[in-house]
């Protein structure tokens, strides 16, 4: 078990109180209406959460993957949808720019993103390039002092509302000739082509984006041309560690709700929690969750120490995503007919958890990454 510092315990307490007050009461409503909790999202800025890995120079509190994962777990337990949008903003956009952007780009974009006055998104996945990210076809061609982007991106979290987007595009003929660009929503040629409807995480806006001769100033190239694969991989690794916190939060919510229900519900004159089969399900859920927490937080600590093996995040994400989905199914089974009803939250927990097995790399891709590391 991790020996949390006084500062980390304070962070946990502060975020827990925020999640209980601002996220939990609206979690069901934003799922039902397929909208998002924008007010709570922007309020996170006052706690420093929107710049959790960013230095104070840009308004952040510069903590590590360990603290970011802890925040993901706490928020994810209250509302996984809002937490997914939070991850896309803080890790995929803000942290990405903090690590890879130039000083002038940081000065221009980070303060507003950290303050919550601007919303961020990262655009990598394409209709024909999901698991095979390097198979992307969106292109950027240099013309004078601008780059012209042509193509489309899909499944982009926060895409429908983002003010600033980190966009990956092909800039050469080689498979790894990928570059990173900062695109503002008002750039000519950029538009949100479609808002997507989903099975779960319905309180997190997801969109398809179009780049039709989109004009991007050359000053918005992040780093050098054709050298962004390392940016992508490093950021994906941290994403997979921290997104595992959301899976932990969902699984904890499932266990808590199922445990409470089993203690209150009776069948044949006996509380459900007195039946051995129910005890077995709850015990398995608790054990799997404990194992997931041990794996994820040890990996987060290793990441903060500078360990960057790609299997680090892959193992976390694979184990916890499966565990959270199974926890959702078990919770539904324990509640029986009530678990299948929309008025109870466990069916939402399960729908939200299923995305964890797909987004940020499918379970199948995680297994491939882990196996490759073993071969090395």
Model confidence over 146-177: pLDDT tens digits? 999 999 999 999 999 999 999 999 999 999 99
For residue 2, the model assigns a pLDDT of 85
Q: What is the pLDDT of residues 310-352, one digit of tens each?
A: 999 999 999 999 999 999 999 999 999 999 999 999 999 999 9
pLDDT at 14 over 80: yes
Q: What is the pLDDT of residues 276-303, one digit of tens each?
A: 999 999 999 999 999 999 999 999 999 9
For residue 353, the model assigns a pLDDT of 98
List beta partners, residue 141. 148
CA distance 181 to 192: 17
pLDDT at 231 over 90: no
Share of the chain above pLDDT 70, in %: 100
Q: Are 282 and 333 in contact (CB under 8 A)?
A: no
pLDDT at 273 over 90: yes
Q: Sorting pLDDT into bands at 50, 70 and 90, what band is 376?
A: confident
The CATH code belonging to domain 121-222 is: 2.40.110.10
pLDDT at 131 over 90: no
Mean pLDDT for 60-64 is: 97
Q: Sorting pLDDT into bands at 50, 70 and 90, what band is 272?
A: very high
CA distance 356 to 277: 27
Q: What is the pLDDT of residues 94-116, one digit of tens each?
A: 999 999 999 999 999 999 999 99
Mean pLDDT for 233-242 is: 95
Identify the H or E element spanning 214. strand 206-217
Buried b (16+ CB within 10 A) or exposed e, 135-158: ebebebeeeeebbbbbbbbbbbbb
Q: Where exactly are the structural domains of the chain? A: 6-118, 121-222, 234-375
Instruction: Read off the tokens for 81.
Output: 């949808």
Tell me if 6-118 shares its fold with 234-375: no
Q: Give me the catalytic one of 126, 239, 347, 357.
A: 239
CA distance 183 to 214: 9
Chain centroid to Cα 286, Å, comes to 23
**239 is a catalytic site residue:** yes
Fold observed for domain 234-375: Butyryl-CoA Dehydrogenase, subunit A; domain 3 (1.20.140)
Q: What is the pLDDT of residues 248-270, one digit of tens each?
A: 999 999 999 999 999 999 999 99
pLDDT at 74 over 80: yes
Instruction: Read off the tokens for 344.
Output: 């109870």
Q: Where are the alpha helices (DSSP H) in 101-183?
A: 103-115
Class at the top of the CATH hierarchy for domain 6-118 = mainly alpha
Instruction: Read off the tokens for 295.
Output: 């794996």
For residue 81, the model assigns a pLDDT of 98
Mean pLDDT for 359-363 is: 96
Q: What is the mean pLDDT of the chain?
A: 97
pLDDT at 1 over 80: no
Mean pLDDT for 242-246 is: 98
For residue 267, the model assigns a pLDDT of 94
Question: What's the distance, Cα to Cα, between the start and end of the chain in Å?
Answer: 30
Q: Sorting pLDDT into bands at 50, 70 and 90, what band is 130?
A: confident
Torsion of CA 142, 143, 144, 146, to 10 degrees: -70
């Amino acid at each position: 078990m991790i020996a949390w510092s006084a500062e980390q315990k304070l962070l946990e307490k502060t975020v827990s109180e925020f999640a209980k007050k601002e996220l939990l009461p609206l979690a069901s409503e934003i799922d039902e209406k397929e909208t998002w909790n924008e007010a709570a999202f922007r309020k996170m800025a006052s706690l420093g959460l929107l710049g959790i890995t960013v230095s104070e120079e840009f308004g952040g509190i510069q903590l590590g993957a360990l603290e970011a994962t802890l925040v993901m777990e706490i928020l994810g337990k209250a509302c996984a949808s809002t937490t997914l949008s939070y991850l896309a903003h803080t890790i995929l956009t803000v942290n990405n720019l903090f690590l890879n952007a130039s000083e002038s780009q940081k000065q221009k974009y980070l303060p507003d993103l950290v303050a919550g006055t601007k919303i961020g998104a990262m655009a990598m996945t394409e209709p024909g390039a999901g698991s095979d990210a390097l198979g992307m076809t969106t292109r950027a061609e240099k013309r004078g002092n601008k780059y012209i982007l042509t193509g489309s991106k899909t499944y982009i979290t926060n895409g429908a509302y983002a003010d600033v987007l980190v966009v990956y595009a092909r800039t050469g003929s080689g498979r790894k000739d990928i570059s990173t660009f900062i695109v503002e929503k008002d750039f000519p040629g950029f538009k949100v082509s479609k808002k997507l409807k989903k099975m779960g995480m319905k309180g997190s806006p997801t969109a398809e984006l179009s780049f039709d001769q989109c004009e991007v100033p050359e000053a918005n190239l992040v780093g050098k041309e054709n050298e962004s694969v390392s940016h992508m991989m490093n950021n994906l690794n941290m994403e997979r560690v921290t997104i595992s916190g959301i899976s932990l939060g969902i699984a904890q919510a499932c266990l808590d709700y199922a445990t409470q229900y089993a203690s209150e519900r009776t069948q044949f004159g006996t509380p459900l929690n007195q039946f051995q089969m129910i005890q077995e399900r709850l015990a398995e859920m608790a054990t799997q969750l404990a194992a997931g927490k041990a794996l994820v937080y040890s990996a987060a600590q290793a990441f903060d120490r500078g360990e960057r093996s790609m299997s680090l995040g892959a193992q976390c994400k694979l184990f916890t995503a499966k565990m959270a989905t199974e926890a959702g199914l078990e919770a539904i089974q324990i509640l029986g007919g009530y678990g299948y009803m929309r008025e109870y939250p466990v069916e939402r927990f399960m729908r939200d958890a299923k995305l964890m097995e797909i987004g940020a790399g499918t379970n199948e891709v995680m297994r491939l990454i882990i196996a490759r590391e073993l071969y090395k």
